[in-house]
């Protein structure tokens, strides 16, 4: 799903700001400030709309890199974060379905 959520990521040597552009229950497309290598393991902190606390993805593996963008696969996260992410995905899909339904009416 398309998105634009503020985030940051921690590599073995730096802590950098980023924007999550796409997300799913399995991973994210991130626009960042560093060129990462495939298979690098990072920690991702993500701020979703209308939520006070950040979502902290303990471990994500970089699966592809294109310029400033890279894709990560979620490897490790807490049960609480998993549940919050699943709820957000479900709510986003419901809102999108309602928007599409309202747009298609003749």
Domain membership of residue 41 as a residue range: 2-104
> How far is the CA of 10 from the CAs of 24, 61, 74, 86, in angstroms?
20, 12, 14, 23
Confidence (pLDDT) at 14: 87
The domain tally of the chain equals: 1
pLDDT in tens, the chain (106 residues): 577 899 999 988 888 999 998 888 899 999 988 778 999 999 999 998 888 889 999 999 999 999 999 999 999 999 999 999 888 888 877 766 666 666 655 5
The domain spanning residue 20 has which CATH number?
A: 2.40.10.220
């Amino acid at each position: 799903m398309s998105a634009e959520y503020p985030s940051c990521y921690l590599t073995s040597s730096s802590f950098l700001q980023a924007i999550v552009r796409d997300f799913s229950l399995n991973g994210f497309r991130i626009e960042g400030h560093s060129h990462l290598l495939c298979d690098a393991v990072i920690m991702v902190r993500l701020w979703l709309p209308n939520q006070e606390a950040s979502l902290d993805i303990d471990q994500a593996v970089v699966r592809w890199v294109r310029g400033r963008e890279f894709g990560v696969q979620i490897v490790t996260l807490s049960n609480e974060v998993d549940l919050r992410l699943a709820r957000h995905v479900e709510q986003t899909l419901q809102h999108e379905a309602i928007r599409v339904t309202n747009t298609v009416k003749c």
